[in-house]
Amino acid sequence: MVEHLQADGEEPCVTLDAFLEQSNATAVRLESDEDARALIPYLDRLKLIEVAFPKFRDGRGYSSARILREAGYTGELRAQGDVLVDQIGYMKRCGFDSFAPEKDLNPADVEAALSRWPEHYQAAADGAVPIWKLRHG
Amino acid sequence: MYKYDEYDQQMVDARVAEFADQVKRRLAGEITEDQFKPLRLMNGLYLQLHAYMLRVAVPYGTLDGRQMRMLAHIARKYDRDYGHFTTRQNIQYNWIKLEDAPAILADLASVEMHAIQTSGNCIRNISSDQWAGAAADELTDPRPWAELLRQWSSFHPEFSYLPRKFKIAVIAAEEDRAAMRLHDIGIQIVEKDGVHGAAFYVGGGMGRTPMIAPLIKDFVPLDDLLSYTEACLRVYNRYGRRDNIYKARIKILIHELGADEYRRQVEEEFAHVKSLGIDPPKAEYDRIAAQFAMPSLDLSASDEIDRTDPDFAVWVDQNVAAHKVPGHAIVNISLKPLGGIPGDASSAQIDLMADLAEKFSHDELRVTHAQNIVLPHVRKADLFAIWQALDAADLATPNLDLISDIIACPGLDYCSLANARSIPVAQKIAQRFSDPARQRDLGELKLKISGCINACGHHHAGHIGILGVDRKGTENYQLLLGGSGAEDVSLGTITGPGFDEDGIVDAIERVTDKYLAERTDGERFVDTYRRVGMAPFKEAIYG
């Protein structure tokens, strides 16, 4: 079983395969090629789902995040890996609420990236009201 | 046509600020070229052989005089006084300085334009029928749906890092003027039992593995159009190949899964996505559609055209098309003058076309995928004045859809991916067939040239296609016959061994001579090819 050690006091994430075999864990790591829907029966029990971004160009994790939020997952959803400041806004819209970038990000840049867009054209997983709804009330 | 409201304007303004910040960080050395590359690409900025190239979006090819004039201004101020209209109804500038890019985007934003998602592995500019809203044969104007898709796809958080770029076309006529089935998603608005819906063709494309999109769903209710598109994209984002850039387009996924299995997965995803409430209400469609309403045309306009001037009459016959309102016509302005570069226009020419649009075409222009410009709503009585103005600016070449109306990519003269030059080949072919009477005798003949297998010049879809390759360090040109990007969509077949630059021109002449010998009355080149097959042409070419 591969463990990914996290911050102090945090339960380490188990792999999806390990989780499905011994599902008393509350933290699981989803690789970019793994099916987020496999976790849907267990979402109530999970406190942390870590989604891997092995390369920033690998955008599968965005769909994984939305699928988990659309299925009602309310725990921590973490983007881990090649997470760059210019992707963070999209990640947040897809439902990520924590970030574990391999390379440290400048907090001021993160703040600027997250506050740049006052509104959004489309509905996603962050609860933002899409522009078409703002237009029509 | 569509006008931005405060929300639309705020989106492009925020993008300008974001990119200005990114360029500043790059110029200060805070980010590397490797980190900057995906950011500039999302803003249409490519690094080419000699300079940066900026690609500006012209959503579904529609723009007004003020916007067209801004394109001329950018050419004059920041480039070498010309721009290049592309096969995706956009415009490219080939000589841009990185430090000027934020100012250019700000200039564009001031006229409701942008370069958002004109490159990168995201949903690109939505393309459409250049005669939309004017064509006599359309069911409805497809552009309101294209605009809804533009807004939905702009900064889409889930689909900005797709396996590969993603191109969508929307049409609403039986005649396909947008190469709809050669797109990642081709949508045709259709009618069933008096109700409009959308036929979805998914998984078409050109490139090194050309494919014609199979029909995935024959009738998607229009209330579900965005949900269905989202389902199509989600299946692709999750399962499209990411291990090999050459196999990453959706056409490969659908080819490997089979259309039936892809359809099953989309339907399953759609059943879920539809419950999320992402489709705007009809009121939003109505708001947008109202802005595409037909301009108030002169319903008493005469249907007569004075054909006294023989050169004018030739141009009318070749470059003017039927409008849905009597007394009116659609003017097609050829950007393929003899000796010119296909799709290029000088700032003076762009300004002139803007003037003509304001004066004669209800302030509207279109860019076509064949790299020409359209004035969509013109009174027949004004055609002569328009022709005279165009003629004085070398914009009245009467060659629409003839052999010299060539689609060509920029090729090795500009592009860092190209293996061979396209522009000189296009010029030599146009020169060989320069006699206008000879071109008209050959009739509709769509000739398309790509300088590498990425197929930006649509060579697979040419009645005659040319593909430039590198053979042991020298440029070599393969010849293809029998392709089409229209409603009779087909992929061309390679004739055999390739040719050098002069040899390809000779080979094309042998092909057209053979056509003239074989054709029956009224038969286009591609019809003759389909009837007699490759063998007679092969014999004519290679002996």
Which residues of chain B are within 8 Å of residue A91 when distances are taken between CB atoms? Answer: 157
B 281-320 near A (Cβ less than 8 A)? 281, 283-284, 287
- Which residue, among A40, A84, A121, A135, would best test binding to B if mutated, counting the most B CBs under 10 Å from its CB? A121
Amino acid at B72: A
CATH number at residue A29: 3.20.20.70
More confident residue, A1 or A120: A120
Q: CB distance from B14 to chain A under 8 Å?
A: yes
Burial of residue B496 (number of CB atoms within 10 Å: 0-12, 13-18, 19+): middle
Q: How confident is the model at residue B51 (pLDDT cuts 50, 70, 90)?
A: confident
Contact A93 B276 (CB under 8 A): no
Residue of B nearest to A127 (CA): B276
Chain B: nearest CA to A78, how far in angstroms?
16
Q: Would you state the pLDDT for residue A43?
A: 96
The verdict on residue A128 lying in a domain is: yes
Please state, in angstroms and rounded to a whole number, the distance separating the CA atoms of residues B18 and B159. Answer: 19
**Cβ-proximal residues to B381 (8 Å cutoff; 6+ apart), any chain:** B301, B302, B304, B327
Q: Judge whether residue A2 has pLDDT over 80.
A: no
Q: How confident is the model at residue A4 (pLDDT cuts 50, 70, 90)?
A: very low
Q: CB distance from A119 to chain B under 8 Å?
A: yes
B348: Cα within 13 Å, side-chain hemisphere: 6
Least confidently predicted of B31-40, B323-332, B358-367, B423-432 = B31-40
- Go through the domains of chain B in sequence order and give each one's CATH number: 6-109 (3.90.480.20), 137-288 (3.30.413.10), 324-392 (3.30.70.3340), 407-542 (3.30.413.10)
The verdict on residue A110 lying in a domain is: yes
Question: Is the separation of the CB atoms in B357 and B68 below 8 Å?
Answer: yes
What's the average model confidence in pLDDT over A75-102?
Answer: 96
What's the average model confidence in pLDDT over B250-268?
Answer: 98
The verdict on residue A70 lying in a domain is: yes
Looking at the 3D structure of chain A, how many domains does it have? Answer: 1
Q: CB distance from A66 to chain B under 8 Å?
A: yes
What's the average model confidence in pLDDT over B332-340?
Answer: 96
More confident residue, A22 or B119: B119
Q: Judge whether residue B386 has pLDDT over 50.
A: yes
Q: Would you state the pLDDT for residue B380?
A: 98
What's the average model confidence in pLDDT over B165-189?
Answer: 98
Q: Judge whether residue B24 has pLDDT over 80.
A: yes
- Domain that residue A60 falls in: 14-136
Contact A59 B38 (CB under 8 A): no
The verdict on residue A30 lying in a domain is: yes
Q: Would you state the pLDDT for residue B250?
A: 98
Q: Would you state the pLDDT for residue A9?
A: 62
| Helix axis angle, A85-93 to A60-70, nearest 10° | 30
The verdict on residue A8 lying in a domain is: no
Q: CB distance from B166 to chain A under 8 Å?
A: no
Q: How confident is the model at residue B49 (pLDDT cuts 50, 70, 90)?
A: confident
Facing A135 at nearest CB: one of B17, B161, B284: B284
Q: Strand pairing partners for B198?
A: B189, B220
- Residue A38: helix, strand or coil by DSSP? helix
Burial of residue A41 (number of CB atoms within 10 Å: 0-12, 13-18, 19+): exposed
**Cβ-proximal residues to B243 (8 Å cutoff; 6+ apart), any chain:** none
Q: Would you state the pLDDT for residue A7?
A: 52
Facing A123 at nearest CB: one of B21, B276, B283: B276
Q: How confident is the model at residue A5 (pLDDT cuts 50, 70, 90)?
A: very low
The verdict on residue A58 lying in a domain is: yes
Which residues of chain B are within 8 Å of residue A93 when distances are taken between CB atoms? Answer: 157
ipTM: 0.94
Sign of CA dihedral B322, B324, B327, B329: negative
| pLDDT tens profile B205-237 | 999 999 999 999 999 999 999 999 999 999 999
Facing B39 at nearest CB: one of A59, A86, A122: A86
Contact A132 B158 (CB under 8 A): no
Please state, in angstroms and rounded to a whole number, the distance separating the CA atoms of residues B117 and B32. Answer: 21
The verdict on residue A25 lying in a domain is: yes
Q: How confident is the model at residue B42 (pLDDT cuts 50, 70, 90)?
A: confident
The verdict on residue A6 lying in a domain is: no
What average pLDDT does the structure give for chain B?
96
Q: Judge whether residue A3 has pLDDT over 50.
A: no
DSSP state of B345: E
Could you tell me which of A56, A55, A60, A58 has the C-alpha nearest to residue A37? A60
Mind giving me the DSSP string for B288-344? HHHHTPPP---TT--------SHHHHHHHHHHEEEBSSTTEEEEEE-S--TTS-TTE
Q: Would you state the pLDDT for residue A8?
A: 56
E strand map for B323-429: 328-333, 344-346, 365-367, 373-379, 407-408
DSSP state of B455: -
Percent of chain B with pLDDT over 90: 93
More confident residue, B74 or B416: B74
